[in-house]
Structure 1
Amino acid sequence: MIHVAILTPDPAEVAYPDLWPKVLARLQRALDGAGIAVIPTPWTMHEDDVSGLRDYACVLPLLAWGYHHDAARWQRACATWQREGVPLANPARVLAWNTDKRYLRELAARGVAIPPTAFVDGLSPATVEQAFADTGADALIAKPAISGGAWKTRRLRRSDLVEADDGMPMLLQPYLPAIETQGETSLLFFGGRLSHVVNKRPVPGEFRIQEEFGGRYALVPEPPAGAVALAEQVLQAVGEPLLYARIDMVPDAEGRWLLMEAELIEPDFYLGVDPAQGAGFARALQDWVRANG
């Protein structure tokens, strides 16, 4: 029997009390069938002392939801895990890098297509006006550079009143109407292999596709070749050994696929619509343990 730890939210975290246990149950079912015992443990219990993680074959940060609410603490924990050689998958250095969405700027420099993005030090009338002028968009999406689950993500129209914030680094991108008609497409990779592809669409009048906002998810039996090509390009550009990755993308008005996010920390795998119900992840985890044991 292989024993792995799954990092879960801080016990004081109140944002996801009903959702994360459901995701944990799906992961447990998938791994139980492969002879892998899953032990949930809050990530905040191990930020300075890793002795409680030493006996596990692998530590998965898959449910460390809410880390963005205390990003400094999370980054300190990642540094501790890397220094102490905790058997994390994905690696602690990847977690630290993927925490800040400004990694998109690095991927764009490596040739990955992303939406036109302004990386600003804070939201203000001036930064929003400049983004509208630069993009010609009718609406913008403003999201914190360190965020999760659409936390503090806003859709701004030209007529909206914008007040200066507290200097939180933000990303400003044109709102892509395709999110309403074609949705966001997520490609799930386990051990570098494509497992399944999921399309996520918001409910009418909404732009956020997360489950807590009513998002509707469906399997894509035959993923578009362009989407697969972009996802593979992203993985190559990341250039790290990844046990898992979820690559989220949306087509622009011309049908070109654009990377929205590379989710390498705690993505939902959408195992509820995975035809294999997580068997591919279980096999990839078994291979990882054999290679790193």
Structure 2
Amino acid sequence: MTEIAILTPDPSDSSYAGQWPGVLERLGEALATAGLTAVPTPWTDHIGDASGLMRFPLVLPLIAWGYHRDHDRWMQACATWQAAGVRMLNPPSVLGWNSDKSYLGRLAEQGVAIPDTVWVDEVTQADVDAAFDRFGVEQIVVKPRVSGGAWKTLRLARGEGMAGAPEGPAMIQPYLPTIETEGETSLLFFGGQLSHVVQKRPVPGEFRVQVQYGGGYVALAEPPAGALALAERTLAAIGEDLLYARIDMARGTDGGWLLMEAELIEPDFYLASAPEGGARFAAAVRARL
């Protein structure tokens, strides 16, 4: 069995202690089908010195949770891994830029459809009021530019206070009511090839689709009409050497697909919904060795 490293959370961060071992187990089971053994190691152990990663033929950052709360050190780590030539996929350069959602603006400039977005350095009431007027809606969503798992993401109604608004660089978008009725759709790609499709829906009254907020996931036999085209356009615009990608999208009010996220760092692969429990993922990893 060939050993490959899986980056895991900071051991001092107890918020993930009950979750990541289960994710590691599922990844390990999938990788074992290709003769690979997953070796966990905290990403925070390798911030300034990559020597502990150099013995591995491949490093996967798939459980590097918590980087969004420690972004300066995350960027330092990405620079360290890049400079040392760590064999990491996705590449450290991608892990850096993909950690800041301003990449969505760059993709939009290349013709990828995203929700109308206002980018701010610090959220103010004036910014929120102006966004309501610009979008012509009654609800908006405010997100930190650096976030994960809907961390500090708010849905605000016109006239509602800003309690809990994120600090620092943020993005403001119109709330998409289709999230409640249709949810989000995720297309999973391994080695550039579509593996499977998952639809995620929030519980009634909620807008966050993550499982920690009660969201439910259903596998789809094939992408809904138009979804694959947006995903492929997104990947072409990214133009990077990617081992894996999760492309999240939702329908706008006109029925067209809009890119919500291109998750290239530590996405949930929904392997329970994947063919053969993730054998395509394992095969894509093996093909890179």
Q: What is the match of residue 278 of structure 1?
A: 278
Residue by residue, what CA displacement relative to the aligned partner does 1:185-216 show, whole Å, maximum 9, x if unpaired? Answer: 00000000000000000011111111111110
Residue by residue, what CA displacement relative to the aligned partner does 1:37-82 show, whole Å, maximum 9, x if unpaired? Answer: 1000000001111111111110000000000111000000000000
The alignment's TM-score, normalised by the length of structure 2, stands at 0.98
1:255 and 2:255 equivalent?
Answer: yes
1:9 and 2:13 equivalent?
Answer: no
1:164, 1:3 → 2: CA distance?
Answer: 43
1:37 and 2:26 equivalent?
Answer: no
Q: What is the match of residue 143 of structure 2?
A: 143
Q: What is the match of residue 160 of structure 2?
A: 160
1:233, 1:152 → 2: CA distance?
Answer: 29
Q: Per-residue deviation at 1:275?
A: 2.7
Q: Per-residue deviation at 1:167?
A: 4.8
Aligned length: 289
Task: Name the amino acid aligned to 2:75.
Answer: Q
Contact 2:58–2:88 under 8 Å retained in 1 = yes
Once the two structures are superposed, the pairs formed by residues 67-146 of structure 1 within 5 Å of their partners are 67-146=67-146
Q: Per-residue deviation at 1:117?
A: 0.4
Contact 1:115–1:258 under 8 Å retained in 2 = yes
1:234, 1:251 → 2: CA distance?
Answer: 15
2:265, 2:247 → 1: CA distance?
Answer: 12
Secondary structure in 2 aligned to 1:40? Answer: strand
1:154, 1:276 → 2: CA distance?
Answer: 37
Task: Name the amino acid aligned to 2:256.
Answer: R
Residue by residue, what CA displacement relative to the aligned partner does 1:5-45 show, whole Å, maximum 9, x if unpaired? Answer: 00000011132222222211110110112110100000000
Contact 2:153–2:166 under 8 Å retained in 1 = no
1:179 and 2:179 equivalent?
Answer: yes
Unaligned runs of 5+ in 1: none
1:120, 1:143 → 2: CA distance?
Answer: 10
Q: What is the match of residue 63 of structure 1?
A: 63
Task: Name the amino acid aligned to 2:268.
Answer: D
1:237, 1:2 → 2: CA distance?
Answer: 33
Task: Name the amino acid aligned to 1:178.
Answer: T
Q: Per-residue deviation at 1:164?
A: 9.6
Once the two structures are superposed, the pairs formed by residues 223-234 of structure 1 within 5 Å of their partners are 223-234=223-234
Q: What is the match of residue 244 of structure 2?
A: 244
Q: Per-residue deviation at 1:163?
A: 5.9
Identity fraction in percent: 58
1:49, 1:167 → 2: CA distance?
Answer: 30
Secondary structure in 2 aligned to 1:225? Answer: coil
Task: Name the amino acid aligned to 2:287.
Answer: D
Q: Which moved more, 1:216-225 or 1:194-203?
A: 216-225
Unaligned runs of 5+ in 2: none
The alignment's TM-score, normalised by the length of structure 1, stands at 0.96
CA spacing shift, 1:232–1:5, aligned 2, 3 Å: same
2:192, 2:198 → 1: CA distance?
Answer: 17
